[in-house]
Structure 1
């Protein structure tokens, strides 16, 4: 084989490899878009949202469908996330020992309080709901597992922020700001620092209608073996039931649940 032929073949190999990476990135982008839409997307909607020709999007979708990562709903002509995506995602949850260890204690907390209990984990500069035990009440608070929330306006986020290093807190605030969502949202650094100090003192955080009017949440940190906080247990319900008079009592129950889960995973609170 001549040197020229060898060079041509190498370029072809590189081109095929680049094309393969591009196809994988497109497939992952499509999965991300479908994960954001509970009701799915039509081919036209999906192709437009990922900036692909419908023919290219359809080719990727049919490949993903064969592997059960997506499914097609004929009644609505929509594409949705498939069961294999859940299987892969659930493997991540299983790899985090905290989630399965926390669930029985979350269930007991829900039974005692009658309110929805969530397990949140730090995800970049947001907190993400990883597991949920729903209240049996007709009116209840529901956070979709997998959804991210800004830290300054959630009880779970503030419970984690309270135990982060000062420079990390400053960095998060500088990059993301403190946008207002309700009249109760914390929007100044001074107010946030005071709030975090109060959280450290009493052992739990409160979202007092800061995320959404009519909703209150109470959260407690979960420490790992190094005394670092990456997760929190959160209790959520309507403000009409989680009244200000009940916050301290419920907060003690949530804090105790956080301590139990911390112990279960071999964690320890910083002194």
Structure 2
């Protein structure tokens, strides 16, 4: 999410600098370098050592270290003392969350999200990938008194949620491997998948069938079915899901529910310009 914003701003800067020479007077070198450092987390991966930052940016190591320290001080980066790596921090996530509220993705697909909730009677979520979590950017609550309680901005893990798994399954393989190489395989319920080999097989199955299922893997007693949303380029940019108690979403209901979620994910994707 933040990466898309940074890429967009970077393109604007490059375009303006090539078409309007007078803009160079406004360049702030240290700010340019700080943005360069942030962008290397987009290009190279979610966790980087200082040597990898230096290799990507070609900055002197002392300069890169000072920039990393200042970005960490402001919460834009977080440092892991165990392996001396850096990753985008909580402030970066908040900036990204603010940016997404200004985008038109939720507004474009909200009517379909409402229809999905009405068709299934269960809480419908729209979520995007951010670092090693997924974040809810819109939701429509189920009318049932017993339902999943969540909120816009809610963050959840990748490996044990329907939206997390379906988004991971559609990342480039290299990106997925890098992300999971340092992933914390926390067990939330007895059904949580914590074995990397078994999880890889789960992702392959998701790619094959087109949807993901959370079988009480994050919260005992709750199930979820999720499908990907594609933009006009065919890239998966978000996921849609329905979630509810296992008393209403039994194993016998999963297949029919999955077809409904897939149907609405296709409609939403078409609204975003995707054509099969």
**Bucket of the pairwise TM-score, normalised by the shorter protein:** 0.5 to 0.7
Give the equivalent residue in structure 1 for 2:103: 96
Contact 1:233 1:258 survives alignment (8 Å): yes
With the length of structure 1 as denominator, give the TM-score of the two structures: 0.64
How many angstroms apart in 1 are the aligned matches of 2:252 and 2:117? Answer: 19
1:183 aligns with 2:203: no
Larger radius of gyration: 1
Alpha-carbon displacement from aligned partner over 1:137-160 (angstroms, at most 9, x marks no partner): 010112221011111111001111
Q: For the residues of structure 2 that align with 1:123 and 1:215, how far apart are their CA atoms?
A: 23
SS of residue paired to 1:152: coil
Is the contact between residue 101 and residue 137 of structure 2 (CA under 8 Å) also seen in structure 1? no
> Unpaired segments of 5 or more residues in structure 1?
1-24, 30-87
C-alpha distance in 2, partners of 1:226/1:188?
33
Aligned residues: 189
1:90 shift after superposition: 8.9
Q: Go from structure 1 to structure 2 and tell me whether the alpha carbon gap of 1:268 and 1:211 turns closer, same or farther (over 3 Å shift).
A: farther
**Structure 2 gap segments, 5+ residues each:** 1-70, 76-94
Aligned residue runs from structure 1 range 36-75, under 5 A: none
Q: Name 2:169's counterpart in structure 1.
A: 162
**Secondary structure of the corresponding residue to residue 182 of structure 2:** helix
Shift of 1:187: 0.8
TM-score (norm 2): 0.63
Pairwise mapping of residues 218-233 of structure 1 onto structure 2 (< 5 A)? 218-233=225-240
Alignment counterpart, residue 271 of structure 2, candidates 248, 264, 267: 264
Q: Deviations over 1:148-203 (max 9, x none)?
A: 11111110011111111111111111122322111111111211111111111211
CA RMSD between the two structures: 2.6
- 1:171 pairs with 167, 178, 182, which one? 178
Q: Is the 8 A contact 1:94 1:100 kept in 2?
A: no
The equivalent residue for 1:127 is 134
Q: Are 1:112 and 2:119 counterparts? A: yes
- Secondary structure in structure 1 of the residue aligned to 2:274: coil
- 2:145 match: 138
Structure 2 vs 1, CA of residues 100 and 186 (structure 1 numbering), >3 Å: closer, same or farther? same
**Bigger CA drift: 176-185 or 243-252?**
176-185
Matched residues in 2 for 1:110 and 1:216: separation? 15
From the superposition, tell whether residues 96 and 184 of structure 1 become closer, same or farther in structure 2 (CA, over 3 Å).
same
